[in-house]
A and B are shown apart, each in its own frame.
Chain A
Amino acid sequence: MKKTLVVLLLISMLLPLSLFAAGTKEAKVDESKPVTIEYWTHEDLARTELENELIAQFMKENPNITVKRTTTSATKLIELVQTAFAANQGPDMFNLPIENEYAYITNGRVAPVDYKAAGYKDKNDLIAKYMDSVLDTVTYEGEVYGLPLELTNWSIYINKKVFRSAGLDPEKDYPKTWEEMADVSEKLVIRDGDILVRRGFDFRYPYYLTFFVPMVEQLGGDLLSADGKKAIIGDEAWIKALKFMQEWGPSGRNLGSPTYKNARLIFDLDNNDIAMAHTGLYQQGRIEKDNKAFFDSREWMVVPFPTFKDAVRDVAACYYGHFFMVNADSDPAVQKAAWKLAAFMLAHGEDYLTRGGNIIQPTKALFESDTLKNMPYSQVFIDDMARAHMVYYGEDSAQIQTQIRYAVESVMLSGVSPEKALATLRAGVQEIIDER
């Protein structure tokens, strides 16, 4: 009896191990046979509508290819894709922000672009079709590993009505510097005691790599040294930027805080909650969808990302990209089909811009098109993009962003001095880059 029990226990413990071992085997698919592409992407209703239409057309033109499109929230997708890849069960095609995707390239998890399958003569032909240096981000050891689904930067949206209600002229009084941003916000703010009933502007927490690092750069600081070996360059700049955030928060001038509702989300509602929000061209589609009357009223406008009064560099908020990538472990036939699908969808750049979520695909054709030029305030975004650079996208970008978040929020919310927060930040980021 005891023996039976021991044997059964052993079997029950070892069986799962054998199941996991068997799970890593992959079936080979003949290229000429029907293939199925598992495509994972983030939720965006407008883009879903367009892509479903494009995928249906693609499958009609390629009857041997079936596309299964799965969506989930942008934050969840980052974790899902990573967990799936860690278990060797990643999707055939996916997109993520580049700061999350870059590690897939350096770890050999994604395949280089199949230029022919994507409809290009060669690598140079592909690069020539895109804006200068956009593909550098996904070029590794001489190969290109992704095709850009979108390139996004953020400028400042203004609700003109709120400005006027505070006696300000939005066209003249909009903030050009961060110091003005704080002063104008002070005029716009409505408080009930300590509680902010209406905010002038609030930051895009917690995307500190995108907006805070450029603020530091304006003051002459840098995240890393040129050789990438030393963390946190230019103490004075970092401390000044941290002091600005400290003053912004509830312990300072009390103009905003990460614990209030996301400014971008409430901007669309036009409920006298917020005067300015930091967001991308895509917001226009969202305003139109959430509040058509406000969108049509044109009581909103877009102005450039401010700089500090004594800025030594003119840097706007970073732009970031989502790139289509293809799983290197997928069957070669599936990989080819996936690159073909990616290129097919990206050939409809103007559709993505106008009805696919107002996203910009950085092709030369789109940047030269009247469609982009005629979008309201598109020139503000294009000009800000020219002043900006790609967000820091190293393998460790998520870790570094966590450290910056801690530094900024500890001075804003927990009463930590900027000097102490900077010392902790430096130690944390240095440890991360030393561990590479």
Chain B
Amino acid sequence: MGNKKYKGIEKKQARWGFIFVLPAMLFFSLFNFYPILNAFYTSFFDKRALSRRAPKFIGLGNYERLFRLSTAGNPLSFYNSLKATFIFTLGTFIPLLVMSLLLAVLVSYLKNGRVKKFLQISYYAPAVLSSVVAATIWMIIFDPRGLGNQWVNTLFNTPGVDHRWLVDPTMERLSTMVIYFWKYIGYFVILFITGLASIPPTLYEASLIDGANKNQTFWRITLPLLKPTVVLVSVMSMLQCLKTFSTQYMIYTNGAPRAAINVITFNIYVTGIQEQYLSRASAMSVVLFVLMMLLTLLQFRATKSENVDY
């Protein structure tokens, strides 16, 4: 009898639970599931943005075209986009992960509350700036007559040298990485600070009594207990980097050459929006989706993430 009553309450609670999550499920399916399924479906057709004709079914034609070996040498090919995406992701997400962890630890160790708050706000401020404002700031810096050349030339005493921030392919890649790093570091610092705050202070007290120094505390207590946050941040930052678009778009629209920064999302934009090949762009987005899934699974496997018990 008691068991029956218990089940009834559980059912009732679950029903209300569903009612509460239903709007989110609808929203998610409308704006996430549908586009994913639609992109997957569209990738098997030859659909042009303005065409009224029923799209022709071409099977794996779009995928075959993306991976056609004869296009590998073309600097605007999908192969080059894969390369540009990997270079950007590796060059950005590893420094993001390491630096955000170090900065979070630094902020957490600070005793002065005001300095702590100031640093938190400073790190996070770029994340809330609009892309237009960020673009304006960085274009002022990267203009050949801008602050970038002035600072570097003053620092290294190299007057009049143009460091070709948006001209040389390597510098162009580096510029996109710097902008991205600047914009998102604060977000990940906040995540790490939250993770650090969840570590019970009694562990630190115990380590202090046992005579551990700060270095030992960090490597033996902080880092192992921060593992779930490290996994979360590494997965999130990697996915963010794989999806990067606005930084490359901003630099390109300000005159920089495309090949070095033609990441997959940017290629999707050019192919689907500018060139109107919706199906080809859909195939690219499916490849990116699969790539993101595989890399995320790989990361989970590699880190063997599980809950940490304190």
Q: Give the interface of A toward B (CB within 8 A).
A: 1, 4-5, 8-9, 12-13, 15-17, 19-20, 75, 79, 82-83, 85-86, 103-104, 107-109, 191-197, 205-206, 250, 257-261, 396, 398-399, 402-403, 405-406, 409-410, 413-414, 424, 427-428
Contacts and interface: CB of A to CB of B under 8 A. Distances in A.
A257 B50 contact: no
Contact of A16 (B34, B160, B164): B34
Contact of B50 (A82, A197, A261): A82
Residue among A20, A79, A193 with the highest chain B CB neighbour number at 10 A: A193
Interface in B18-41: 18, 22, 25-26, 28-30, 33-34
Given A192-B159, A250-B162, 4 more contacts: A12-B26, A12-B29, A191-B160, A406-B75
23 contacts: A4-B18, A5-B18, A8-B22, A13-B34, A15-B26, A16-B26, A17-B34, A19-B30, A83-B273, A86-B50, A86-B278, A107-B50, A107-B51, A193-B159, A193-B160, A194-B160, A195-B145, A259-B143, A259-B255, A402-B270, A406-B259, A413-B257, A414-B257
Interface string B37-62: 00000000000111110000000000
B228 interface: no
B29 A13 contact: yes
Given A15-B29, A109-B52, A205-B255, A410 B75 contact: yes
Contacts of A9: 25
Contacts of B257: 406, 409-410, 413-414
A199 to B, nearest CB: 10
A16 B29 contact: yes
B18 A195 contact: no
Contacts of B168: 413-414
A109 B167 contact: no
B76 interface: yes
Interface string B150-192: 0000000001111011111100000000000000000000000
B274 interface: yes
B275 interface: yes
B274 A402 contact: yes
Contact of B49 (A17, A20, A82, A260): A82
B14 interface: yes
> Which 8 residue pairs across A and B have the least CB separation, nearest first?
A193-B160, A258-B255, A194-B162, A16-B30, A107-B50, A86-B49, A12-B25, A259-B255
B25 A259 contact: no
